[in-house]
Amino acid sequence: MGDFLVVGAGVAGAAAGYFLSEYGHVTLLEMESAPGYHSTGRSAALFSEYYGNPTVRALTAASRAFLTAPPPGFADGPLLSPRGVLTLCPAGDEDGFAAMLADGLSAPVPVREIDVAGVTRYCPVVRAGRYTRAMVKPGAMDMDVDLLHQGFLRGVRARGGAVVTRARVRGLSRTGGRWRAVTDAGAFAAPVVVNAAGAWADEVAALAGVRPLGLTPLRRTAFMANPPGGADAAGWPMVTDVADTFYVKPESGRLLVSPCDATPVPPCDARPDDLDLALAVERVEEATTLRIRGVRRAWAGLRTTAPDDTPVVGEAPDAPGFVWLAGLGGYGVQTSPAMGRIAAAAATRTPPPADGADPAALSPGRFTAASHITESETFPIRHMATE
């Protein structure tokens, strides 16, 4: 027994569990053999306050303080480190570039347009003369995703919580004011369940008799390649274009490359598609002087979006004690501190943090004609001191 069940122990579920563990006992239920297998472990690992719609950018900004200065003992190294992004404008994409530039000027560290003739000063392999405009996003940062994820999980355990792996939920029902989850690792019960199941979140909702949201899992492909012979790419920015057709980013002494694909797929253990890999090579070689002679390691991950491409965080209007934390759309890692706090507030029915996005913009009730939680009850939650 416990106070909270969290379905999914990726970075979003782990963050929710971390902040919920201040209030009571948390059990994280992870269907794989290790947390973070599908999305968290396959992230591009970039913190960018220029990325996403206004709600997403507000969540990202609200997460910066935690990521810059996490609580004592949370991590044994920095979670963020300098990187920057160089965004290029191919001919014909000038309107999109202008809109991105205008949005980026309001970021905490504003974007800066640069002379397109000087792009090689920022990254020496960009193909000169191919682009009509260029900008830099100096506030974008590399993230140590594993350090962040493990910090959340360690915090849950330190406060007496449990992380249960190989615990795929097979049944979820509510009786007597408690949710009961039947899993491959046994049965667990609590007054509140947080649905942080990623691509499987609608399936978990259906098990509980909760209206699904219409989430769409999207496959994103990436691979590692070697930098040019003898080149030290560590100081290069991430390079992309305004149409989001590719990116190339220094990573662990190599280059992380993606065609920025977003192919709808059913929830699955995503695998890279050969055509997407070929497209990534073609696009990077058109944009730069790089010649990619071999793919060192390729993978694909899932980024699951809500119909309006805005995360869903809040209590289900048709199920008391069922809290959504889903549809993170590739923003989950960089917004995890803010979304974890908002999910914890929804789960405890306490005021949400004042520095994040408007909870109404995140509420699952926005997809229904009217919210209709009619059961008025308080959850038996005890408050624990923050460690």
* CATH code of the domain in which 209 resides: 3.50.50.60
69 within some domain: no
Domain count along the chain: 2
383 within some domain: no
Phi-psi category of 84—alpha, beta or left, where left has phi over 0 and alpha has psi -120 to 50?
left
Question: Does 235 share its domain with 130?
Answer: yes
67 within some domain: no
- Spatial distance between the Cα atoms of 312 and 362, rounded to a whole number of angstroms: 5
Give the pLDDT score at 39. 56
Confidence bin at 373 (pLDDT 50/70/90): very low
Closest CA to 251 of 284, 222, 290: 222
- Spatial distance between the Cα atoms of 201 and 96, rounded to a whole number of angstroms: 33
Residues 6+ apart with CB under 8 A from 282: none
Question: Does 132 share its domain with 192?
Answer: no
Confidence bin at 137 (pLDDT 50/70/90): very high
Three-state DSSP at 82 gives strand
Question: Does 221 share its domain with 209?
Answer: no
Question: Does 225 share its domain with 334?
Answer: no
Residues 6+ apart with CB under 8 A from 144: 45, 75, 77, 78, 79, 80, 81
Question: Does 184 share its domain with 196?
Answer: yes
386 within some domain: no
Question: Does 338 share its domain with 360?
Answer: yes
**C-alpha distance across the termini of the chain, in Å:** 22
pTM of the model: 0.91
Question: Does 342 share its domain with 244?
Answer: no
Query: pLDDT digits over 157-214, tens only?
Result: 999 999 999 999 999 999 999 999 999 999 999 999 999 999 999 999 999 999 999 9
Question: Does 288 share its domain with 353?
Answer: no
Strands 4-7 and 192-195: parallel
Question: Does 159 share its domain with 203?
Answer: yes
What residue numbers bound the domain in which 221 lies?
85-138+217-302
